[in-house]
């Protein structure tokens, strides 16, 4: 009997360790659905969902697998963040639509989070105000000789910063809040620092570089995406020259990859998102650096789709010769344009465009291409070769029927051989080649084409 009792106690203890609950009462949210969501890298997943009872009461469970940050959400509300750190959590309020009414009645870590969030907002406001006064008293002759107020301002700035640091240092070292709160502070403060406290930019970039991007706590925090974006946004908006911005981005890429090491899953997630981010903001040199670095130095297995994207920068980097494109006459919009291949196009410059009639950005850029074609062709001897990824050729013909430049569409969409050969993953994609198909530059827009030609292009001889 004694052994049975011990077994039952151990079983109960194990179950308790495996599952915790979030319970509460939302007095104005009766008999409606409420969900608990968790974070997995840059994605989210549903942990549990339930319908509140007649009094708005609910209970949701989570396990050790969900350790990190989560959020409660209803169809009508914004997310309400909660720390899923192994505690049973209780909240009370009227509705998640009115987050200011929600109070945590049980869970030390969530109460710390609640307190810090409220106080941090006020501290940031105070720091901005005192920072403004500090600069005013230092720069204006009217105040510059007022030593006592200047000293008082500096003391108050130090006191506010010290008070917050003391609060964080007092948290238990093994608590999730001890790691999460300063990390969230770093991520959420980038715009404020760039605009109002630029002297803190180098320190903040250094802090981002120290982040361990393989840390499971970061992966489960909901901060991963914002950390990557904030890190590189801060570098972009640091007030440095473009060349220095690129150097700093490469240093940050090195720091991130060192931390990721052989951690396969986070390596793929972070690299994929960072690569997409750099391309989106036209930092092609930094994207190329990332691609080459991962392909040449990382020993982890790279996802097939990511590996193919990275290969873009090895195969299609500036200076390489682009693949020739077979231009089957039956798929050419204007049969009078007699080119059998890209290499047969007679022009000093060849702009290869991958787009589609269904692509919103292509639709925005197409009028600009039409407007610039004649003048750029006349001035620089450039020819446009537009490869459409439309799968409906009738739609292609209808949309591009007025095009004065070379249009090609075989109706295979993303399976078009040229798109595969050029490692095209998004539309529109622009590549400027010379007469011999040497890649000169990867462009981001028709305006970029015009700017590049006017800066580096050789004008057509009369």
Each residue of 282-301: pLDDT tens digit? Answer: 898 899 899 888 887 766 67
**What integer pLDDT is reported at residue 14 of this predicted model?**
42
* Statement: residue 4 has pLDDT above 50: no
Q: Between 129 and 313, name the one with better pLDDT.
A: 129
Dihedral angle computed from the Cα positions of residues 89, 92, 93 and 98, in that order, rounded to the nearest 10 degrees: 0
Phi first, then psi, for residue 382 (nearest 5°) are: -110, 140
Residue range 437-451, pLDDT digits in tens: 999 999 989 999 999
pLDDT tens profile 409-420: 999 999 999 999
CA-nearest of 326, 308, 235, 226 to 272 is 308
Question: What is the C-alpha separation between 226 and 205, in angstroms, rounded?
Answer: 14
pLDDT band, very low/low/confident/very high, at 314 (cuts 50, 70, 90): confident
Q: Measured on CA atoms in the order 121, 126, 128, 129, is the torsion positive or negative?
A: positive
Average of pLDDT values for 116-139?
91
- At residue 462, the pLDDT reads 65
Distance CA 267, CA 289 (A): 16
The conformation of residue 85, written as its DSSP 8-state character, comes to: S
On the question of pLDDT at 38 being above 90, the answer is: yes
Percent of the chain exceeding pLDDT 90 equals 76
Confidence of residue 9 (pLDDT cuts 50, 70, 90): very low
Spatial contact of 214 and 266, defined as CB atoms under 8 Å apart: yes
Which pLDDT band, with edges at 50, 70 and 90, does 60 fall under? Answer: very high
For residue 271, give both structure tokens. Answer: 């690299």
pLDDT of residue 293: 87
The residue extents of the domains of the chain are 2-106, 110-315, 329-456
Least confident of 49-58, 200-209, 306-315, 412-421: 306-315
Q: Is the pLDDT of residue 15 over 50?
A: no
Q: How far is CA 326 from CA 5, 8, 213, in A?
A: 78, 74, 44
pLDDT for the residue numbered 186: 97
Question: Which top CATH class is 2-106?
Answer: mainly beta
Phi-psi sector, 239: left (phi>0), alpha (psi -120 to 50), beta:
left
Contacts of 392 (CB under 8 A, 6+ apart): 411
The pTM (predicted TM-score) of the whole model is 0.75
Distance CA 219, CA 231 (A): 16
Half-sphere exposure of residue 6: CA atoms within 13 angstroms, side-chain side: 3
pLDDT value of position 3? 46
User: What are the pLDDT digits (tens) for 320-345?
Assistant: 999 999 999 889 987 666 788 999 99
The predicted model gives 134-153 an average pLDDT of: 90
* Predicted confidence band of residue 461 (pLDDT cuts 50, 70, 90): low
* Range 329-456 classified under CATH 3.40.30.10: yes
Work out the burial of residue 136: count CB atoms within 10 Å of its CB; fewer than 13 is exposed, 13-18 middle, 19 or more buried.
middle
pLDDT of residue 8: 38
236-288 pLDDT per residue, tens? 999 999 999 999 999 999 999 999 988 889 999 999 999 999 988 889 889 98
- State whether the Cα torsion 261-262-266-271 is positive or negative: positive
């Amino acid at each position: 009997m004694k052994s049975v009792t011990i077994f039952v106690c151990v079983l109960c203890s194990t179950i308790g360790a495996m599952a915790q609950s979030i319970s509460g009462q939302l007095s104005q949210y009766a008999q409606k659905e409420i969900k608990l969501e968790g974070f997995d890298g840059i994605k989210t997943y549903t942990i549990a969902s339930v319908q509140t009872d007649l009094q708005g009461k609910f209970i949701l469970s989570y396990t050790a697998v969900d350790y990190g940050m989560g959020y409660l959400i209803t169809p009508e509300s914004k997310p309400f963040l909660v720390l899923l750190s192994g505690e049973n959590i209780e909240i009370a309020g009227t509705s998640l639509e009115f987050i200011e009414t929600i109070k945590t009645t049980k869970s030390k870590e969530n109460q710390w989070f609640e307190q810090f969030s409220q106080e941090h907002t006020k501290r940031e406001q105070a720091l901005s105000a005192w920072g403004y006064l500090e600069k005013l008293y230092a720069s204006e002759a009217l105040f510059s000789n007022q030593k006592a107020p200047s000293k008082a301002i500096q003391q108050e700035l130090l006191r506010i910063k010290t008070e917050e640091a003391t609060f964080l240092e007092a948290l238990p070292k093994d608590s999730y809040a001890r790691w999460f709160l300063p990390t969230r502070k770093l991520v959420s403060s980038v715009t404020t620092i760039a605009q109002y406290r630029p002297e803190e930019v180098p320190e903040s970039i250094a802090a981002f570089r120290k982040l361990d991007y393989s840390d499971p706590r970061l992966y489960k925090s909901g901060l991963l995406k914002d950390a990557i974006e904030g890190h590189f946004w801060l570098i972009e908006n640091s007030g440095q020259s473009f060349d220095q911005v690129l150097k700093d981005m490469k240093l940050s890429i090195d720091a991130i990859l060192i931390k990721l090491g052989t951690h396969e899953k986070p390596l793929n997630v972070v690299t994929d998102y960072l690569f997409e981010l750099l391309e989106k903001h036209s930092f092609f040199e930094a994207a190329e650096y990332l691609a080459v670095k991962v392909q040449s130095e990382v020993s982890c297995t790279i996802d097939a789709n990511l590996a193919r994207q990275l290969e873009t920068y090895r195969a299609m980097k500036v200076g390489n010769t682009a693949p020739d494109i077979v231009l089957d006459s039956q798929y050419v919009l204007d049969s009078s344009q007699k080119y059998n291949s890209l290499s047969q196009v007679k022009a000093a410059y060849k702009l290869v465009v991958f787009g589609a009639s269904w692509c919103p950005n292509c639709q925005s850029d197409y009028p600009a291409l039409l407007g610039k074609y004649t003048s750029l062709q006349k001035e620089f001897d450039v020819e446009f070769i537009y490869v459409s990824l439309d799968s409906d050729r009738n739609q292609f013909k209808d949309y591009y029927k007025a095009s004065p430049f070379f249009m090609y569409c075989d109706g295979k969409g993303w399976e078009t051989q040229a798109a595969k050969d050029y490692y095209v993953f998004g539309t529109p994609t622009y590549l400027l080649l010379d007469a011999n198909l040497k890649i000169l530059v990867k462009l981001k827009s028709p305006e970029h084409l015009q700017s590049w030609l006017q800066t580096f292009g050789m004008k057509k001889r009369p």
